[in-house]
Amino acid sequence: MNPAPDPGPALDLGPALDAGPAADAVGPGRSARPVAAEPADARPLRLPPFPGRVFRVRRTLRAYAELVRAPAAITVPGDVLAGALATGRGTGPRTLGLAASSVCLYWAGMALNDWADRELDAVERPERPLPSGRIRPGAALATAAGLTAAGLAVAALAGGPRTALRRTLPLAGAVWAYDLGAKSTPFGPAVMAAARALDVLHGTGPAPARPALLPAAAVAAHTLGLTRLSRHEVDGAPPREAALTLAAATVAAAATAGRRTGPAQTAALALYATSYAPALTRVLRTPDAPRVRRAVGAGIHALLPLQAALAARAGAPGAAAALAAALPLVRRLSRKVSST
């Protein structure tokens, strides 16, 4: 056999034939051709590793969920539903639209609350999204403004401009008034109770509000006692505050009960008592901060069986059952994102 001819100087293909996709494309029977190197400014943009981006997105979403107390919003549609059922409006698309509007306003209020309390939270609750640096104050304020605008827009679509002006706008005004001024005054609990009552009246839409006044009063009484108690989440509460909150809950239940209390309403009121009264009783015995916070969380969740009782009172046992069934869900979600 003759020796193979001298191939001459070896061809330097540089990075074109490294162990990458170009090399993999060379299969049996194919010859590799030199590829000119691309200029540096023409190379494709290298993105960060995908898992890292997912982690950052999840961390941001969690921070905003904490900012707006996302799970607690499950207790909001029941207010609107109670008002709608009291006036005979039912649970149609317009009622659901007004409920979505109320959720937007609730989340706006939570974001605005943290923006207004950012300096106080830096001392008392540094783990919250703003003092911990996970969300900037400007972003929180923009979130509150954007959600408020969304709430007004959704209400206008669901109930018409008249509903947005007569029902939604006063509710939004009460939310902003509470967070920006009334919260730190003796009138704070009353303003919050009024906001929650307006949320019930929100469900009446363009209809007269008078049939929904009793449900609104029941929700307001519950909220009044709960808001007073929530002022002592950091330092603990005097025993009289737990007693007043328990009295307010009793008034709410009494306002809900009617002459023709049926099985669904009775069951809802029993669930309301068993989900709220034990936590308040523990605060009566030992009114320290951890027990107060747990009682406040229980009070937020107890709005669901109270709303269920109001729905049953209006002759809607199916809606009452759905509201009561949401209680375990909001409890489970609140273990991941606090409601307070």
| Token pair for 224 | 């009044």
Provide the angle, in degrees to the nearest 10, between the axes of the packed helices 137-159 and 93-116: 160
| Neighbouring residues of 278: CB distance < 8 A, sequence distance ≥ 6 | 298
Banded pLDDT at 31 (limits 50, 70, 90): very low
Neighbouring C-beta atoms of residue 262, cutoff 10 Å: 13
Q: Residue 45 has what pLDDT?
A: 56
Nearest to 233 by CA among 180, 178, 331, 299: 299
pLDDT for the residue 23: 36
- pLDDT tens, 279-324? 999 999 999 999 999 999 999 999 999 999 999 999 999 999 999 9
CATH architecture of 63-208: Orthogonal Bundle (1.10)
Question: pLDDT grade, residue 19 (50/70/90)?
Answer: very low
- Give residue 57's pLDDT: 87
- On whether the CB atoms of residues 34 and 13 are closer than 8 A, the answer is yes
The answer to pTM > 0.85 is no
Q: Which residue has the tokens 């993105």?
A: 47
Backbone angles phi, psi at 221, to 5 degrees: -65, -45
Which pLDDT score, from 0 to 100, does residue 90 have? Answer: 87
Q: What is the rounded distance in angstroms from the CA atom of residue 155 to the CA atom of residue 161?
A: 8
Q: Calculate the alpha carbon distances from 268 to 114, 202, 262, 304 in Å.
A: 33, 23, 10, 9
- Is the pLDDT higher at 134 or at 52? 134
Lowest mean pLDDT among 11-15, 36-40, 139-143, 289-293: 11-15
For every residue of 188-250, which 3-state class applies, written as one string? HHHHHHHHHHHHHHHCCCCCCCHHHHHHHHHHHHHHHHHHHHHCCCCCCCCHHHHHHHHHHHH
Q: Is the Cα dihedral 262, 266, 268, 272 positive or negative?
A: positive
In the chain, where the domains are located: 63-208, 211-320
The yes-or-no verdict on residue 51 having pLDDT over 70 is no
Confidence of residue 239 (pLDDT cuts 50, 70, 90): confident
Spatial separation of the C-alpha atoms in residues 88 and 58, rounded to whole Å:
42
58-87 confidence digits (pLDDT tens): 899 999 999 999 999 999 999 999 999 999
CB 84 within 8 A of CB 203: yes
Res 320: pLDDT = 95
Averaged pLDDT of the chain: 87
